[in-house]
């Protein structure tokens, strides 16, 4: 979607949630290009409806992949990617932490069988095999992202 269209969709969705009785609407997303429009929409709606008691929050911490990269590399997984970068040594927009998360929900989504058969079950110098190790790291990543996001929501809401 174009940024203007995306902002319009977010505005309509968030306003609809308010109309259904939600008093706290939280915008989180997992795409770098969507962070700015979400922040803008949350701020605009929060200002527009502040007198009504409804609040709109943008929580960027959900998309904190630098923390994920630090967790991965700090766990002894030597991924060849700079902290904060969106591509590593493979020169593609893919990284171990994202592949691990995708595999946790559906290993087929990272085409692990095809990658293994083609001897390409790696990303940025790190093997995704054995999958049990990758899935164990994925659970740690989910825990980290959950904690960061919940803490940010609580802070934003003054809890």
pLDDT, tens digit (0-9, with 9 covering 90-100), for 10-53: 999 999 999 999 999 999 999 988 999 999 999 999 999 999 99
Rounded Cα distance, 79 and 149, in Å: 24
Q: What is the pLDDT, as a whole number, of residue 93?
A: 92
Rounded Cα distance, 51 and 55, in Å: 9
pLDDT tens-digit series, residues 104-113: 999 899 999 9
Mean pLDDT (the chain, rounded): 96
pLDDT band for position 95 (50/70/90)? very high
Rounded Cα distance, 32 and 67, in Å: 15
pLDDT band for position 58 (50/70/90)? very high
pLDDT tens-digit series, residues 104-143: 999 899 999 999 999 999 999 999 999 999 999 999 999 9
∠ CA(32), CA(63), CA(129), 5° rounding? 100
Two tokens, residue 13: 């969705």
Q: What is the pLDDT, as a whole number, of residue 55?
A: 98
Higher pLDDT, residue 9 or 30: 9
Q: Which of 13, 30, 31, 10 is nearest to 22 (CA)?
A: 13
CB 63 within 8 A of CB 29: yes
Q: What is the pLDDT, as a whole number, of residue 100?
A: 98
User: Residue 127: beta bridge partners?
Assistant: 122
Q: What is the pLDDT, as a whole number, of residue 85?
A: 95
Q: What is the pLDDT, as a whole number, of residue 104?
A: 97
Q: What is the pLDDT, as a whole number, of residue 70?
A: 98
CB 80 within 8 A of CB 69: no
∠ CA(37), CA(40), CA(42), 5° rounding? 105
């Amino acid at each position: 979607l174009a940024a203007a269209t995306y902002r319009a969709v977010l505005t309509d969705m968030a306003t609809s949630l308010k109309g259904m009785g939600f008093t706290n609407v939280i915008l989180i997303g997992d795409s770098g290009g969507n962070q700015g429009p979400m922040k803008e929409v949350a701020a605009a709606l929060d200002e527009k409806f502040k007198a009504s008691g409804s609040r709109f929050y943008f929580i960027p911490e959900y998309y904190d992949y630098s923390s994920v990269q630090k967790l991965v590399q700090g766990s002894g997984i030597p991924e060849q990617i700079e902290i904060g970068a969106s591509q590593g040594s493979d020169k593609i927009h893919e990284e171990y932490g994202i592949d691990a998360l995708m595999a946790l929900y559906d290993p087929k989504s990272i085409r692990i069988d095809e990658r293994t058969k083609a001897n390409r079950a790696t990303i940025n110098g790190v093997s995704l095999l054995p999958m049990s190790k990758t899935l164990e790291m994925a659970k740690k990543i989910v825990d980290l992202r959950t904690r960061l996001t919940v803490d940010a929501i609580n802070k934003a809401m003054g809890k």
